[in-house]
Amino acid sequence: MQERRSAERFRANLKVRWQSLMTQGRGAVCDLSASGCFVLTGGQVTPRELIRLELIEGDEVTTLWGQVAYHVNEMGFALRFVFGNEMDRRVLSSVIDVLPQN
């Protein structure tokens, strides 16, 4: 199968809180890139649903927005980031920069 992702992916273990219009949950981001992430969580979401994602790193919380790309029952969901402006991209870039490089 051909790789469709255009951005380099990084392994991560970041605690998160997430919220949609209908539900919310907690989990962990296990895979992160400049264009999206995968959230390990048990919550129910639907494709294209808008999600507010809060990455929790110690005392710091980084808020990102994205749309659900797909959902895997009892595992989690893939999120494609939606950026309002260039500052949002820079904030995500600063989170990626401090991840351990594999």
Query: pLDDT tens for residues 32-91?
Result: 999 999 999 998 899 999 999 999 988 889 999 999 999 999 899 999 999 988 988 999
The residue segments making up the domain with residue 32 are: 10-96
pTM here is 0.87
Q: From its phi and psi, is residue 84 left (phi > 0), alpha (psi between -120 and 50) or beta?
A: alpha
Q: How would residue 1 be classed by pLDDT, with cut points 50, 70 and 90?
A: very low
Number of folded domains in the chain?
Answer: 1
We report the CATH number of the domain holding residue 56 as: 2.40.10.220
Q: Is the pLDDT assigned to residue 3 strictly greater than 60?
A: no
Q: Rounded distance, CA 58 to CA 79, Å?
A: 22
Q: Is residue 17 part of a domain?
A: yes
Q: Which two tokens stand for residue 2?
A: 């051909």
